[in-house]
Amino acid sequence: MALVRLSLSLALLGFVLSALFAAPAQAQGPRGWSICNQTSYVIQVASGRPEGSGTVVEGWTKIRPGACEVLLPAPLLPGAHYLYAETSDAHRGGTRIWGGDEALCVEGNVSFAIETLPDCNAMGLDVRKFRPVLVENRSRWSTVIRETNKYTLDQASAAGVQRLMADADVFSGAIDGNRGARTGAAVRGFLRERGLSEDTDDRDLIDILEQLALDRARNVGLTVCNRTDGRVWTAVGRRNGDGWESRGWWRLEAGGCARVVDEPLLQTEHFVYSELETEDPAKVRRLIRGSDTFCVGRSKFVIPGRDDCGASAYRSELFVATEIPREGKLVFEVFERDFGPADVD
């Protein structure tokens, strides 16, 4: 039932898979192939272009909320190109992804250009799933990346500032793209505290806030990383107040990570459960070595307690205990060897 979990969890995150690149590409804008970010997130973008009998993949290009960047200069070669985008690690709640089904090699978080390779892992590269984009004009082509909220470019820029202020623990308010009095006062207060001009534009403000949020993210929370060649779904169990709770699902592409807890961790064990997708949509490989039972749902869930899962229409799964966090943070990695044989989801 991985497809059910995918569509529901993305919708709850505010994204719809069929609307990843919702606006039709058009032969307008600056020369070359440009990508416009009409989301409230800072994104990193990689692209694939035809060259000879293969594909050249290049990345990463940072695109701020409300901004457009040219990925490929003109002249363009009409035909199938490929596009993949993911959110900055500065944002809470795990990585959001805009992609498709075309597996191509990428390299970490550094600039790269890679020709088509038969085995990404053999070359020490990661795999990402790209979406095809049909480019039909040699001079200029534009593709828009959106989330469910239909922001204009200006609204996306404002929403990006609002989101990053929350991610950096500077200010918590609505993320709606409206430059209202409350948001304006919060921005002015932040700039004054930093000794910055109130005329600082959104571009510079977004960069400053992103760095603050990145610094915060590196020092707190639980991050789960997928070191397999496939797509992994993960959930976490932990103490919450006087009781227990479980949360899921986070989607981790091959080589990807998700920060599943966005606050300093208690100095005690946490618990992780993961499922590795297989070629058969009805079967998954489950994380082995589990020792502690928590409840999980079929779609995105937050479940208080860990008993009587069946009575609440949930199912029980064995979660793996983590190491004790150090200084409020922990990274938990899952490898191919950590999963058992495929069985029915």
Give the pLDDT confidence score for residue 1 in this predicted structure. Answer: 41
Give the pLDDT confidence score for residue 338 in this predicted structure. Answer: 96
How many whole angstroms from its chain centre is CA 293?
28
3 confidence band (pLDDT: 50, 70, 90): very low
Give the pLDDT confidence score for residue 125 in this predicted structure. Answer: 85
Query: Taking a C-beta distance cutoff of 8 angstroms, is the pair 145, 85 a contact?
Result: yes
Give the pLDDT confidence score for residue 220 in this predicted structure. Answer: 81
Give the pLDDT confidence score for residue 185 in this predicted structure. Answer: 94
If one compares 324 and 17, the residue with the highest pLDDT of the two is: 324
Mean pLDDT of 200-211: 96
Query: Taking a C-beta distance cutoff of 8 angstroms, is the pair 237, 229 a contact?
Result: no
Residue 255 has pLDDT above 90, yes or no: no
218: three-class secondary structure by DSSP: helix
Cβ-in-10-Å burial (0-12, 13-18, 19+) of 192 comes to exposed
Q: Which of 288-292, 317-321, 323-327 has the lowest mean pLDDT?
A: 323-327
Mean pLDDT of 136-164: 95
110 confidence band (pLDDT: 50, 70, 90): confident
Mean pLDDT of 33-55: 94
Provide the percentage of residues in the chain whose pLDDT is more than 90.
Answer: 62
Mean pLDDT of 111-134: 86
If one compares 208 and 119, the residue with the highest pLDDT of the two is: 208
Residue 82 has pLDDT above 80, yes or no: yes
Q: Is the pTM of this model over 0.85?
A: no
Residue 345 has pLDDT above 80, yes or no: no
Residue 57 has pLDDT above 80, yes or no: yes
Give the pLDDT confidence score for residue 221 in this predicted structure. Answer: 87
Mean pLDDT of 160-185: 92
Give the pLDDT confidence score for residue 302 in this predicted structure. Answer: 92
Task: Report which of 18, 58, 17, 13 is spatially closest to residue 40, judged by C-alpha positions.
Answer: 13
Distance set, CA 125 to CA 104, 254, 336 (Å)? 10, 10, 16
